[in-house]
Amino acid sequence: DAGITQSPRHKVTETGTPVTLRCHQTENHRYMYWYRQDPGHGLRLIHYSYGVKDTDKGEVSDGYSVSRSKTEDFLLTLESATSSQTSVYFCAISEGQGNEKLFFGSGTQLSVL
Amino acid sequence: QQQVKQSPQSLIVQKGGISIINCAYENTAFDYFPWYQQFPGKGPALLIAIRPDVSEKKEGRFTISFNKSAKQFSLHIMDSQPGDSATYFCAASNYGQNFVFGPGTRLSVLP
């Protein structure tokens, strides 16, 4: 999966607990994205980053925060998980700036009980 | 205006047949239109992509047809095979940023 590692691959947690998902890339791509995938909705953008410490909100950012302290790592945090955040989360990377190819990780299945 | 619509939701095709999936967009600023293929338990993978300056792009059995005036584009899979059974997503982006995805089409190719 194009040098993208997501961890954990599966997680079960309880409502109200904080959760952090990690995305690590070895491609040195500038852009990194977090998407969630739900049946009937396709892939929806949560947050993205266009450089170290440069992030912006996506379509469904409420309840999520992100951080990027190094080029290779992009963290997604659910401050207080809710059942509506049960989903499959995908990290993606792209070089950007005219090179639009978007590469995805293998995903994290998150269940909030 | 950012939405990308995709149809059908699911598609069943016999082996050797043609699979056709359609997408429509609103935002005329989009300048890149990829299709992604996703197998169960895997992340989406880029299959083929087109820019609005051409009306068709073909790679092997996969063809994108693009109609700029109608703001529509479609994926054609010729000689469909059971191994093509997957979920397909169309997408659109503006200069490689802000990718917007369709809801997906689950394709089943019967042997």
Q: Is residue B8 a contact partner of residue B105, using CB atoms and an 8 Å limit?
A: yes
pLDDT at A41: 84
Cis status of the peptide bond prior to A39, with omega within 30 of 0: no
Mutate to test the interface with B, among A1, A100, A109 (most CBs of B within 10 A): A100
Residue B55: which H helix or E strand, with range?
A: none
Angle at A109 between CA A44 and CA A15, to 5 degrees: 90
- Three-class secondary structure of residue B69 per DSSP: coil
CB contact under 8 A, B46 and A102: yes
Q: Is residue A5 a contact partner of residue A108, using CB atoms and an 8 Å limit?
A: no
- The contacts of residue A77 (CB under 8 Å, 6+ apart) are A18, A19, A20, A21, A64, A65, A66, A67
B51, closest residue in chain A (CA to CA):
A100
Helix then strand then coil, % of chain A, to nearest 5: 5, 60, 40
Per-residue pLDDT tens digits for B31-45: 899 999 999 999 999
Task: List chain A pLDDT tens, one digit each, 113 residues.
Answer: 569 999 999 999 999 999 999 999 999 999 999 999 998 888 999 999 999 999 999 989 999 999 999 999 999 999 999 999 999 999 999 887 666 788 999 999 999 99
